[in-house]
Amino acid sequence: MQKIEEVVVHPLVLLSVVDHFNRVAKEMSNKRVAGVLLGEVWKGRLDVSNSFAVPFEEDSQDPKVWFLDHNYLEEMFGMYKRINAKEKIVGWYSTGPGVKAPDVQINESFKQYVPNPMLVVIDVKAAETLELPAQAYYSKEEVNEDGNIVKNFVHVPTLLGASEAEDVGVEHLLRDVRDVAATSLATETQHKIAALKAMLSRLTEIQDYLQEVLNGRKANNEIFHKLQEVLNLLPNTNVLNQAFAVDENNSYLSLYLASITRTVLSLHSLITNKTKK
């Protein structure tokens, strides 16, 4: 498989994974589900256009104990291949949250179907945030501090995309579930609130990490580099305060001049009326 520069997850995949989770693990707080991702690779872009569920179990006490039914996987893929021969196995999905300890071994087991399988972690409980519900990863060999070779997951830029036919289907689906009583202002307000909640959670996460570093945790220079980039993008609040003050003064000046003008005209009318009398 050629190098993947970005992963595009289609709506059908998200709907299938949510349905899989609701049928199998919705009532279990710590349980996650897994399945196979189907799609195509073209010029460094991986389109994940379809998926199907696979029986999967893991021991919450021992991360080394897990089971994924490869016989069922191969039978299902054989049937899918009869429908669309272009769709190949490109990786697997998990409902997370996040990447877990046994995922490296599970990912290695998928190399019998694809040389470099992609793991897409799908957050099925992301309704209250504006964050992307899917994040893609691939495994990469790295040398740790002890000089040993280990395999870690590397994040790949992930997008949500759809074909024209999928856009029409999603639009019809949203038309059925959308609250027709909600106004556009209410919808925009809900979006702003969700965005502020997401930003607050990220700021809290950054604060906790910096506090851990101050308490003795080893600092990651790459994280600090990213934080410095974010700080460099922040606007100069002193300039903004001055600009707001100037704009506010201009507004008050206009109101003051209008009030004086209105008062002068009133006095002029009063004097004119008295003169006529």
Whether the Cβ atoms of residue 65 and residue 58 lie closer than 8 Å to each other: yes
Whether the Cβ atoms of residue 44 and residue 118 lie closer than 8 Å to each other: no
pTM of structure: 0.63
Which pair of tokens denotes residue 213? 């570093």
Tens-place pLDDT, residues 68-78: 999 999 999 99
Tens-place pLDDT, residues 200-226: 888 898 899 999 989 988 888 888 888
- Of 68, 134, 142, the C-alpha closest to 105 is 68
Q: Is the peptide bond before 97 cis (omega within 30 degrees of 0)?
A: yes
Separation of alpha carbons 16 and 11, rounded Å = 9
Tens-place pLDDT, residues 227-247: 888 888 776 766 667 777 778
Tens-place pLDDT, residues 140-181: 887 777 777 778 888 899 988 877 777 677 666 666 555 555
Whether the Cβ atoms of residue 84 and residue 46 lie closer than 8 Å to each other: no
119 burial (CB, 10 Å; 0-12 / 13-18 / 19+) is buried
- Of 14, 18, 8, 2, the C-alpha closest to 136 is 8
120 burial (CB, 10 Å; 0-12 / 13-18 / 19+) is buried
